[in-house]
Amino acid sequence: MGRVIDGRYRVTRHLADGGMGSVFVAIDERLERDVALKVMRADLARDDAFVARFRREARSAARLGHPNVVAVTDQGSDGQYAFLAMELVLGDTLRQLIRRRGPLPVDEALGLMDPILDGLAAAHRAGLVHRDVKPENVLISQTGQVKVTDFGLARAVTTSTLTGDSDILLGTASYLSPEQVEHGSADARSDVYSAGLLLFEILTGEKAFPGDSPIHVAYQHVHGTMPRASDAVSGIPDTVDDLIAQATAKDPDDRPATAADLLVALRTVRRGLESGHTDHTDHTDHGDRRTRALPSDTETTETTETTDAQVDHEPVDAGRSHTTAIHSKTNPLDTRGYQPGENSRRPRRGLSLVVLFLLALLLLGAAAAWAFTSGPLGSTKVPTVNGLAQGSAVERISKADLKARVRQTFSESVAQGKVIRAEPGAGSEQRKNSTVTLTVSKGPERFSAPKLAGSKQAAARAAITKAQLGVGTVTQAFHESVPTGSVISSTPAPGTALKKGAKVNFVVSKGKQPVPVPNVAGQPRAEAEGSLTSLGLKVAYGTEEFSETVAKGSVIRSTPASGANLYKGDSVELIVSKGPEMVQVPRVIDMKSGAAKTLLESQGFTVELDRFFGGLFDTVRDQSLRPGTSVKKGSTITLSIV
């Protein structure tokens, strides 16, 4: 909300969603007026072919100027949005009216179809075919004006075949003509077919061809038999059934050529019903002003005093002029044989009393008529207040001589402070000063997401349930500071306003994440230290040791050993090699063999003796390692003994 489209239309609130896109109320900041802004789906707006068709159809629709057609004032695109600016009609769709009231009486249904066909006829005269006539595309304003909308959009969105978005098609398939199903083609006669289905639904409250899938519904349009409205609702005249049958003929050539032709036929049927020329006699509108002829042996339409003649009385609304049909075996106005006599004169006093009595009756009748029409005992119609602000609705109810009682409830679709519905409903006749209950929206009901961080899992679940929300996805993760089993975080964030039952997800701590000690034996000191610190471990060094197998400066071993589990921040002690231990070779020449061997072995040498001539003198004559050199501890030295 608040977004400005095309630098001109400021979106103020959402009205409805459909298969093609969404409808919003917007302010035309250039002309300072409210408009209905239809924004197409993003995937359609990205289709260059669609945008081109959309513009052509919108321009054609904009050329229509008719009181029963929703005016198109502008079209365009703004980035990813393709939009249509239209006249804002506040009220209900025909779909909402049918759902609320069910089947309508014949006279009301025909009266409703008249402006629908008038609007379609204007389009057909302009060479424009609607292609998507259905209850959702008929709007009824709060003042009762009927308008047809969305001319040409069906052509822009689809080529009228059974491909594409099934969600769009399921709503539309109920009103497709056979030629649209079979060939993907449509002309004015296709709109006539859809209008016939519309009249059937208004009269019966049901679709002519119901079904669970578009394919099934479309098949019935081509091969199914059109039902009679009178089979669903008793009392519908044959002329109305015939009118629907003519409009919904399978062959387009058998239908009226345009909506104007169907309108002529509909008005002919209406005139026939109004004049009483119908096969059914139970469709009497007692509020009508016309004379009704009832069957009789002798019939007169004069209004007069009756004797024992049989009279069919019709309820009469006060203030209306009615003629009552009187049916009698004899004429009550026949004055033959009447001769004035002595009783023909009346005393003046008696005449005055009669005049006064008649005057009193006249005044009483006038008072009664006033009381039951304009007076406090009269009736009034409940005005349309849906969508109005509470104050405006109460004012409108008061102007209709009714009292308003307000109750409030939450609503996901009606803005706060606006009227959701009135009971009794709009248009119903009520006694003056009776009470109308207005249900006013408190706006959408919302519940605050609770704070869960730090709570134990069970407590977190209880807090979510208490807030009238639902537990969503629960995941687990390691955490360096949150104890095991406690909540780390939750989404949506605490304090977020959510619908009742909305899901709240949260993450539970598994405690610190274990860090296995890597094997760093044999690695140079710097490399081993880097391996440990990259895992978050600290490094300590023990006493360096000699090693015959590990090079100087490399790690001999770690404590704890590799594979042990630690946690970030724990220490690992490294023992670093000083390399092999070296010793200096002593001089043992001229020493006795025993003493030389003992000296060398005490310094870590391995001693081997090589005796010449049996070693008669037992004296070291030579040694294999030169005295004074440094060699690895444990080296082998050979002594020559003579």
Domain covering 582-641 assigned CATH 3.30.10.20 in the classification: yes
DSSP state of 307: S
d(CA 248, CA 239): 14
Per cent of the chain over pLDDT 90 is: 58
Cβ–Cβ under 8 Å, residues 430 and 424: yes
> Nearest to residue 147, comparing CAs of 91, 204, 84, 63?
91
Using the predicted structure, report yes or no on whether residue 166 has a pLDDT greater than 60: no
Note whether 314 and 290 are within 8 A (CB).
no
Q: Which residue has the higher pLDDT, 530 or 163?
A: 530
Residue 53: helix, strand or coil by DSSP?
A: helix
In the structure, what pLDDT confidence band is assigned to residue 373 with cuts at 50, 70 and 90?
low
Q: Is pLDDT above 70 for 161?
A: no
**Nearest to 222, CA basis, from 188, 258, 185, 251:** 251
Q: What is the mean pLDDT of residues 261-273?
A: 95
- Domain 91-273 matches domain 582-641 at the CATH topology level: no
The pLDDT-based confidence of 508 (bands split at 50, 70, 90) is very high
CATH topology of domain 447-509: Trypsin Inhibitor V; Chain A (3.30.10)
C-alpha of 31 from chain center: 31
Q: Whose CA is closest to 92, among 47, 149, 130?
A: 149
DSSP letters for 123-170: HHHTT---S---GGGEEEETT--EEE--TTHHHHH--SSS-S-HHHHH
* 148, two tokens: 């047809």
Q: Which of 135-144, 270-279, 478-487 has the lowest mean pLDDT?
A: 270-279
Q: For residue range 337-370, what is the model confidence (pLDDT) as tens digits?
A: 323 333 334 444 455 565 566 666 676 666 555 5
Domain 381-441, CATH among 1.10.10.10, 3.50.50.60, 3.90.1300.10, 3.30.10.20: 3.30.10.20
> Locate tokens 């639902």: which residue?
470
CATH architecture label of 4-87: 2-Layer Sandwich (3.30)
Lowest mean pLDDT among 99-113, 185-199, 299-313: 299-313
CA distance to 35, 92, 385, per residue, from 89 (Å): 9, 9, 14
Residues carrying an active site annotation: 132
What's the CATH class of domain 91-273? mainly alpha
> Which helix (H) or strand (E) element contains residue 202?
helix 188-204
Strands ordered across the beta sheet of 503-509: 470-477, 503-509, 487-491
- Residue 252: is its pLDDT beyond 90? yes
Taken in order 406, 412, 416, 418, is the CA torsion positive or negative? negative
Quote the DSSP letter at residue 252.
G
Confidence band of 9 (pLDDT split at 50, 70, 90)? very high
pLDDT at 319 over 70: no
pLDDT class for 164, splitting at 50, 70, 90? very low
Per-position b or e across 330-367, b if 16+ CB within 10 A of its CB: eeeeeeeeeeeeeeeeeeeeeeeeeeeeeeeeeeeeee
Local structure of residue 378 (DSSP, 8 states)? -
Question: Which pLDDT tens digit goes with each residue over 43-53?
Answer: 777 777 777 77
pTM of the model: 0.45
Q: Where are the domains of the chain?
A: 4-87, 91-273, 381-441, 447-509, 514-579, 582-641
The residue among 279 and 503 whose pLDDT is bigger is 503
Confidence of residue 495 (pLDDT cuts 50, 70, 90): very high
More confident residue, 246 or 367: 246
The string over 566-601, giving b where at least 16 C-beta atoms fall within 10 Å of a residue's C-beta and e elsewhere, is beeebebebbbbebbeebebbebeebebeebbeebe
Q: Which CATH architecture does the domain made up of 514-579 adopt? A: 2-Layer Sandwich (3.30)
Residues 6+ positions from 106 with CB-CB distance below 8 Å: 203, 235, 236, 237, 240, 273, 283
Residue 450 β-bridge partners: none
